[in-house]
Structure formats: structure tokens, C-alpha cells
Structure 1
């Protein structure tokens, strides 16, 4: 700045604005990715809680696991049984960006 100046010059303002915009351009994609992953992790936690709840009910009340789709908070979760080397109960759901996920727990 010049000696008798009462504020910032245009060049200083443009430089400061450019630094802020560069910082925002670097951080914005990261923040979007973090937000998306937080949403996907919340869906996964809900799916695992749903499946473990059904497994606990079936184990303590001696009845079969309800197979089919359930909707929780507007999201669709599908419960299936798989016959791999051991029998497993699985839950499937959609994540953003439009990929299917599946989590399985072994049957007692």
C-alpha cells in the first residue's frame, strides 16, 4: 500500500479475492464427497440395524425372517436369504450415485 492511502488498492482486492476463490475451488469437491459418504454411511447403519433387528426377533421368538422389501425414511431396503457355504441373511439397498450395496450377517 502507498503511504497516504486510505484503503486497499484494486490489485490487493483482486489478489485476496483470487486466493479465496482458489481455496473454495479446492475445498468444494472434497466437501461434496464427504457429504455424500456421510449420507451413504447413514444408510448402511440403518440397513445393518434393520437386519440385526430381524435376526434378533427371529432368534428369540422362534420364527422365520421376513423376506422382502421395507421402506425406512423413504429408502428401500430388501432382505434376502443366501445359501452360500453357510446360510446368511442379507440386506440390499441403493446408494448414491446409483450403486447397489449389500451387507450380510450369518444365521445362527
Structure 2
């Protein structure tokens, strides 16, 4: 039986190659997905902070409702005001890192 100079047989080399292939095909895409989801969670949190700050601005200056767009860290957030019956709420929209359109809303209890 022929062996290479390091003492590994062809079967051992094939098993090693198979294991590394499985790691590359399963773990690498999973880690990329986890990193994108982590970035989306940070973006979601940032959007809620921008919306909260916008609502606080409206508390002091009612003309701040007209402000529609806001940028933060190369992400464009769009703020919209919606009215349902007697209640009014501010919504923020943005594109996440996998190009999904996201929207979060907070109720506004101003006058």
C-alpha cells in the first residue's frame, strides 16, 4: 500500500477534505446570516431611537412633524405620521441589510 511521506493514507485525506467541505458549506453561511441579523437588530434599535427623538422634538415644536427623512450611519429613515380614529402614531421605515422594508410605530399622546 502506498502512503505519502507524512504517513496519511488517501482515505484519511479524503475524510479530512470532506469534513472541511462540510464546515465550509454549513458554518460559513450560518455565520454570515448571524452577522447580518445582528446588524439588523442594531439597525432596528437605532431606528427606534431616531423615532423617539423625533417624537420628543414634536413635543416641543409641533412643526417638527413635517420632517420626513432622517439619516443615521448611511441609513435613510423615513418618518410618517398616521392617524387611526382619535389616536395618532409616528412610524419609521427603513431598508435593512437584506433589503427588507421594515416599519415600527409608536403612539403619540400629544395635544
Q: Same fold (TM over 0.5)?
A: yes
SS of the equivalent of 2:35 reads helix
SS of the equivalent of 2:22 reads helix
Q: Within 5 Å, which residues of 2 pair with 1:23-62?
A: 23-59=23-59, 62=60
Per the alignment, residue 69 of structure 1 pairs with 69
Q: How many residues align?
A: 102
Per the alignment, residue 11 of structure 2 pairs with 11
Residue ranges of structure 1 left out of the alignment (5+ in a row): none
What do you get for the CA RMSD once the two structures are aligned?
1.8
**Cα distance between partner residues in 2 of 1:96 and 1:84:** 30
TM-score normalized by the length of structure 2: 0.80
Residue ranges of structure 2 left out of the alignment (5+ in a row): none
Q: Which consecutive segments of 4 or more residues in structure 1 shift more than 3 A?
A: none
**Cα distance between partner residues in 1 of 2:88 and 2:6:** 77
